[in-house]
Structure 1
Amino acid sequence: MRSQELPSKDNQEAPATKAWVGAGLLAALGASLCCITPLLAIMAGTSGMAASFSWLEPLRPYLIGVTGIVLGFAWYQKLKPARNIDCDCETNPKPNFMQSKAFLSLVTVFAAVMLAFPSYAHVFYPQAQAQQQVAPNKANVQTVEIKIKGMTCAGCEAHVNSEVNKLAGILKVETSYANANTLVQYDKSRTDVKQIEKAVSATGYKVTETKKK
């Protein structure tokens, strides 16, 4: 009588491994969503939704940790030695691609790219230049500092710079997510503080305070 076929190690662990891989992907995406959303918003032409996931920024360190733990465990499950079972069993078919080490490697690389996204997000933003063509009268040059809530990475800085530079009369824009502000030098004969605040607000980030320098 033929022995009963027993499931292979790969088939036994496939559901658990898939769950860990899925959790790792979700955690990696969650850790980067606050910086991915502004870029997607610009591409979709709906920049007002850019700050929708800024509330995830304080959770980013924890999400990075979760990503490392769950993918590390998935690799442990994949690489641990198989238990030896003495039986006259039929050989099970080769596991499919989604159960393979190659797939887990791709997922790990993708997660790493997502986690690093905030550090290189700014390169994807359009490099809008200030539209000022003629040297302004020095008496018309003013600088304003606008405090902004909701920025989370260098991509957010590029987003604000891009929107403000679309205005006529902008001479220089320096935005810092670390300082939660933007410093704008402008020609007051061509634009004003209200227009600059409106451009910042159009990104989806919140203007909290404005000070003229």
Structure 2
Amino acid sequence: MDNAPARPSRSLFGAGLLAALASSLCCITPLLAVVGGLGGAAGAFAWLEPYRLYLVALTVAVLGLAWYRQLRPAPATDCCTVPAQRSVLQSTGFLAAITGLAAVLLAFPYYGAMFYPVPPPNASIATTNGTVPAWQTRTYRIQGMTCEACAHHVEQAVQQVPGVQSVAVSYDQATAQVRFDAALVPPARVESAINSTGYHVSNPPR
């Protein structure tokens, strides 16, 4: 009779990794949108944000169970029992690698913003025929942002609009403050640039 303790299965490892990935998709997608040119796909997983804490708890619970099953002492066996050989996918090293990858995914919202390229200052300022710029500063409220990575994605999109001088997007306040030349770009154009990221302006600008 085989009295060896049950070892964590590949499905248990996969469940923990999948939960970790789901908890960070709302912040990974904006970066992929910038790098891969996915545009409006950035906000596709924003609906996961309210469930993030539950997904984090699920990840910790599943991987905690896997570690418990991996490390609990084996029951006593008789002298003639040959211990079952574990595969690489059931090894402690593989579980440690899965746990490390899950930790990287769970922490992504806290460091993901550093991967965004910094646009050159005032890259979008333009004037024509020597006219004096008609500078305006407006604040847009934005729905759907879930982390600082989302805010950086909005900044990237708006900064590329010709006539925009500066953009300051706050994830905490869910706002974008934009200074632009109204002679070159109407406020609706700025709003359209924000909406193109997959997030949406929720009020008329002021």
TM-score by length of 1: 0.87
Which residue type is aligned with residue 176 of structure 1?
A: S
Which residue type is aligned with residue 69 of structure 1?
A: A
Task: Please point out which of 128, 138, 141 is paired with 1:144.
Answer: 138
Tell me the distance in 1 between the aligned counterparts of 2:126 and 2:200. Answer: 30
Sort the Cα spacing of 1:152 and 1:123 in 2 relative to 1 into closer, same or farther, 3 A.
same
Residue 172 of structure 1: SS of its match in structure 2?
strand
Which residue type is aligned with residue 125 of structure 2?
A: Q
Corresponding residue of 1:116? 107
- Kept after mapping to 2: 8 A contact 1:170/1:187: yes
Instruction: Structure 1 unaligned segments of length 5 or more: list them.
Output: none
Provide, for residues 74-131 of structure 1, a one-character-per-residue CA deviation record: whole Å limited to 9, x for no partner: 11111110001225234433x2221111111111111111011011111222222332
Answering whether residue 20 of structure 2 is matched by residue 28 of structure 1, we say yes
Corresponding residue of 2:75? 83
Task: Please point out which of 174, 177, 185 is paired with 2:179.
Answer: 185
Corresponding residue of 1:67? 59
Tell me the distance in 1 between the aligned counterparts of 2:84 and 2:60. Answer: 31
Tell me the distance in 1 between the aligned counterparts of 2:107 and 2:68. Answer: 23
Percent identity reads: 40
Which residue type is aligned with residue 16 of structure 2?
A: G
Answering whether residue 93 of structure 2 is matched by residue 102 of structure 1, we say yes
Residue 43 of structure 2: SS of its match in structure 1?
coil
- Kept after mapping to 2: 8 A contact 1:144/1:210: no
Corresponding residue of 2:193? 199
Tell me the distance in 2 between the aligned counterparts of 1:14 and 1:179. Answer: 43
- Kept after mapping to 1: 8 A contact 2:8/2:69: no
Provide, for residues 35-64 of structure 1, a one-character-per-residue CA deviation record: whole Å limited to 9, x for no partner: 111112222212111101101001011111
Tell me the distance in 2 between the aligned counterparts of 1:14 and 1:119. Answer: 30
Instruction: Structure 2 unaligned segments of length 5 or more: list them.
Output: none
Corresponding residue of 2:161? 167
Which residue type is aligned with residue 186 of structure 1?
A: F
Q: Which moved more, 1:144-153 or 1:82-91?
A: 82-91
| Equivalent runs, 1:47-66 vs 2, <5 Å | 47-66=39-58
TM-score by length of 2: 0.90
Answering whether residue 115 of structure 2 is matched by residue 132 of structure 1, we say no
Question: Cα RMSD (Å) of the superposition?
Answer: 2.0
